[in-house]
Structure 1
């Protein structure tokens, strides 16, 4: 049994099959593979963590927010019980990498996005950008080249620099 800062009870390792339909209490994504679960005998405690969420660093320096380190919190600091991610604008109600000074939050999965990705349908690598530069004479709308969904300039995206 092991302890984690985010939970008052001991945790034990276990293997999860995706069809069990469990959700990670840290990142709020579907759980599968190596994980940890609450080892208390209480039937009301349904706490689960991906092994990777269990191993998250408590403090990181992220390129999107170079001014201050980001601290891993087990729950959002707001009184409403949720946060909006500064990377994707999605909400979260569990783990967040947070900067108190700037009221800046990242989902844990957004904090670990790769700097570059390659796609079979595009000849150049795509680089992660934290915002798009505003160009006055640029008339091109900002739409995803795959799903054609529009996105806001202040959120992250992968972009071809070529």
Structure 2
């Protein structure tokens, strides 16, 4: 258990205070975005995800992964300090800070991506985290990543009920980054919050089971990627994403 105030080797100048602000920030440890609870030094504008403070060694897909403060150099890289050699095997994006590394498989993960659940079940629909993509992603409509590092195929959440609803982890990460600011605005502005509640009611009352399943699934993954255990931001972001998909006619 972590305390409300503590020292951390990544910021030895001052102790870090546990705070809970409803604003967007970039973690100075893993360099990924987050919101709400974090450890912060106000004087230096320094923030760490809650998980990035402790970073215990963990298991990903049955493999032991070791925490490192920075990525290991690539085999052929001759740079002393390189942030371009390693990309996350789950999302395909470059790793610029804290990382989990598996020596056995040579996998690397952003700390947040390493926390992704192997499977998420909503009602009778199960989304499994797979290293192979059997069909096109529901977001980008491609089997291979449209972004990310070209040599990393990226992992996907694959539905056991509907082949049309598979998602690259990269694409879910993109959704989260694109909608974070709008979700925070919806949480903080009364008039937008009311509109968001109406949207939530409309989605939950729809007869289309898949709309509700996707909303719950995306909300759960967004919450993991942002380190928000309350799921409030993740759920709001899911409302916005599903609304966009409905307006575009991508789901029905």
What's the TM-score once normalised by structure 1's chain length? 0.69
The one of 5, 11, 21 equivalent to 1:7 is 11
In 2, the alpha carbon distance for the partners of 1:37 and 1:9 equals 12
SS in 2 for 1:31: strand
In 2, the alpha carbon distance for the partners of 1:8 and 1:71 equals 22
In 1, the alpha carbon distance for the partners of 2:125 and 2:143 equals 21
The answer for the alignment partner of 2:65 in structure 1 is 70
In 1, the alpha carbon distance for the partners of 2:83 and 2:138 equals 34
In 2 relative to 1, CA 31–87 (structure 1 residues): closer, same or farther, beyond 3 Å?
Answer: closer
The Cα shift of 1:159 comes to 1.0
The answer for the alignment partner of 1:81 in structure 2 is 83
Structure (1/2) with the larger strand percentage = 1
The one of 40, 57, 60 equivalent to 2:58 is 60
SS in 1 for 2:37: strand
CA contact (8 A) 1:15 1:32 kept: no
CA contact (8 A) 2:99 2:111 kept: yes
1:28-72, Cα deviation, whole Å (9 max, x unpaired): 233322221237x6xxx4421022321321x222226x3xx3211
The answer for the alignment partner of 1:130 in structure 2 is 131
Structure 2 residue runs of 5 or longer lacking an equivalent are: 74-80, 146-151, 162-252
Which portions of structure 1, spanning 4 or more consecutive aligned residues, are displaced by more than 4 angstroms? none
Structure 1 residue runs of 5 or longer lacking an equivalent are: 133-140
The answer for the alignment partner of 2:143 in structure 1 is 150
The one of 24, 30, 34 equivalent to 1:31 is 34
The Cα shift of 1:13 comes to 1.5
CA contact (8 A) 1:11 1:38 kept: yes
